[in-house]
Amino acid sequence: MSKKRSRRTWGLKILFAASEAHPLIKTGGLADVAGSLPAALRNLGHDVRLVLPAYPQALERLGEVETLATFEVVNAPEPVRLLGGRIAKSGVPVYLVDSPPYFQRAGNPYTSPNGADWQDNADRFALFCRAVVQLATDRLGLGWKPDLVHANDWQTGLIAPLLSFEPQRPATLFTIHNIAYQGVFDHAAFNRLQLPTPLWSMNGLEFHHHFSFIKGGIAFSDIISTVSPTYAQEVQTPEYGYGLEGLLHHRADRFVGVLNGIDYEVWNPNTDPLIEHPFDLDHLAKRRQNTRALQEEFGLPPDEDTLLFGYVGRLVDQKGVDLILQIIPGLMERTRIQIVMLGTGDLWLEQHLDEMAERYPDRVGVYIGYDEGRAHRIEAGCDAFLMPSRFEPCGLNQLYSLRYGALPVVRRTGGLADTVVDTHPETLANGTATGFVFDDPNASSLWSAVDRAALLYRERPEEWGKVMKNGMRQDFSWNRSAEHYVELYRRAIANPMPNPLVMG
């Protein structure tokens, strides 16, 4: 395989820029996408290279790296180094932008260990964007110039605006993974960063007298995408657009929703090294053993006959965790129901979860923290997976749940609406039902969906088994979506977006 690879003729040259990528560094779904989409694109024959900041975790996990260039970046506290390595498993080449004063820190890419945003995030990610621009224009002398830069989320939002000043610029595609995070700073930050003055304009980075990174990605890129068709529609409305609905609507002819795929090697219940009892569609009895192991891991009595709900995710308003908290006391009035929850995030939610676990020690299991193994074991062991998100650009956990035979209970929004089919007589009869879907972002709607799930589980176990199998048979691998991105790359290359500053 690897010998063949060196003689292979590649299709497009793509530089994929992101602030996190599995397995190097991860706080959420962006990392899963930045880890798996480049690999899928390489399998389609494209020369895709990943570029990330050189966080300590990324350096440690990448292993061997070489210094490819040392260069000056405007405003950087010291010369920046470009390091090169390769992700062992996928073979994807990786560049790390190494600026120790900015990236060699404890904590995560965006926050200090106590959870507060780094005060200099604008400076840190502006440096990253500037380094990517130098790499993408081959000013670092590597002899490789991408046809297109695929940038992701606000941390990469300055790449397209900065490239717009380059005479021979590569094409650009900007993916919005979550429009609620925008990278908005004050005018003083714009000045401090010494960005080209024409960018301070209504058609540029100015956003209600502030300076917006994400607006740069949206206004200057040749194509904009987001991670599900439904979210692409939603963000063009005031309810979901966080003030950017007008601009997105204006750019609708270049704005597309492409559903994320998942990595079917990392998330395969039959080969997953993080679960105790591998299983597949034909060996579902083994799945039950994972349920028992999960109960034990969370300190709950291993009751065979319990309906076990699960939750994994960031503990933030978006995810509707508070709705779960509201229904727990009612659920606990019923017998044979347990719930396990894994997450980290807002302090008040963490505390509430802990309180629930204390109040119902035999029924509610909580782990506050980030733990990849537990996330896999929850998918493999719980019967139903709760995702009552207020909004959800795509959502990956419901896709993992489908693959692992946990029935997702989701709100009809974004990617959840695009991937889970509600269970009712018609979808049961035609074999399309895969989970439970509810409409309103409140506790009573969630309650009625959970109630329907409990009823099916208790009263019609054979039907439950069928829904589970329908879900496990779905194909959410990257193949189709990666091809869609290639089409968009070609479209971006063929139709450059006129410079919005010149258009006036």
Q: Which single residue is written with the structure tokens 């347990």?
A: 338
Kindly tell me which of 65 and 399 has the beta carbon lying closer to ligand ADP: 399
CB of 209 to ligand GLC, least distance (A): 27
Nearest residue to 212 (alpha-carbon basis) of 170, 136, 252, 160 = 160
Q: Which single residue is written with the structure tokens 């035999």?
A: 362
Q: Kindly state the helix (H) or strand (E) to which residue 15 belongs, with its residue range.
A: strand 13-17
Asked if residue 36 binds ligand GLC (CB under 6 A), the reply is no
Asked if residue 217 binds ligand GLC (CB under 6 A), the reply is no
Q: Which stretch binds ligand GLC (CB under 6 A): 27-35, 52-60, 100-108, 486-494?
A: 27-35
Q: Which does 227 bind (CB under 5 to 8 A by kind): ligand GLC, ligand ADP, none?
A: ligand GLC
Binding letters toward ligand GLC, positions 251-270, x by CB under 6 A: ---------x----------
Length of the chain: 504
CB of 473 to ligand GLC, least distance (A): 22
DSSP state letter for 154: G
Alpha-carbon torsion angle 479, 485, 486, 487, nearest 10: 110
Q: Is the peptide bond before 93 cis (omega within 30 degrees of 0)?
A: no
Asked if residue 395 binds ligand GLC (CB under 6 A), the reply is yes
Kindly tell me which of 314 and 336 has the beta carbon lying closer to ligand ADP: 314
Find all residues with CB under 8 Å of 91, minimum gap 6, and list them. 2, 5, 39, 42
Q: Which does 397 bind (CB under 5 to 8 A by kind): ligand ADP, ligand GLC, none?
A: ligand ADP
Judge contact between 147 and 170, C-beta under 8 A. Answer: yes
Asked if residue 177 binds ligand GLC (CB under 6 A), the reply is yes
Judged by the rule CB under 6 A, the positions of this chain that interact with ligand ADP are 28-30, 32, 312-314, 342-344, 370-372, 375, 394-397
Nearest residue to ligand GLC by CB is 29
Cβ count near 152 (within 10 Å): 26
Kindly tell me which of 57 and 318 has the beta carbon lying closer to ligand GLC: 318
Judge contact between 492 and 163, C-beta under 8 A. Answer: no
Nearest residue to ligand ADP by CB is 29
Kindly tell me which of 86 and 314 has the beta carbon lying closer to ligand ADP: 314
Our CA angle for 46, 48, 51, nearest 5°, is 175
CB of 319 to ligand ADP, least distance (A): 7
Q: Which does 371 bind (CB under 5 to 8 A by kind): ligand ADP, ligand GLC, none?
A: ligand ADP
Q: Which stretch binds ligand GLC (CB under 6 A): 22-30, 40-48, 292-300, 464-472?
A: 22-30
Buried b (16+ CB within 10 A) or exposed e, 310-335: bbbbbbbebbbbbbbbbbbeebbeee
CB of 489 to ligand ADP, least distance (A): 23
Query: What is the distance between the alpha carbons of residues 289 and 126, in angstroms, rounded to a whole number?
Result: 49
Q: Which of 20, 21, 29, 157 binds ligand GLC (CB under 6 A)?
A: 29
Query: What is the distance between the alpha carbons of residues 20 and 30, in angstroms, rounded to a whole number?
Result: 7
Please compute Rg for the chain using Cα positions: 23
CB of 30 to ligand ADP, least distance (A): 6
Judge contact between 173 and 223, C-beta under 8 A. Answer: yes
CB of 367 to ligand ADP, least distance (A): 8
Our CA angle for 155, 34, 346, nearest 5°, is 60
Q: Which stretch binds ligand GLC (CB under 6 A): 68-76, 389-397, 435-443, 488-496?
A: 389-397
Q: Which does 469 bind (CB under 5 to 8 A by kind): ligand ADP, ligand GLC, none?
A: none
Query: What is the distance between the alpha carbons of residues 19 and 108, in angstroms, rounded to a whole number?
Result: 11
DSSP state letter for 241: H
Contact residues for ligand GLC (CB under 6 A)? 28-30, 33, 177-178, 227, 260, 392-396, 415
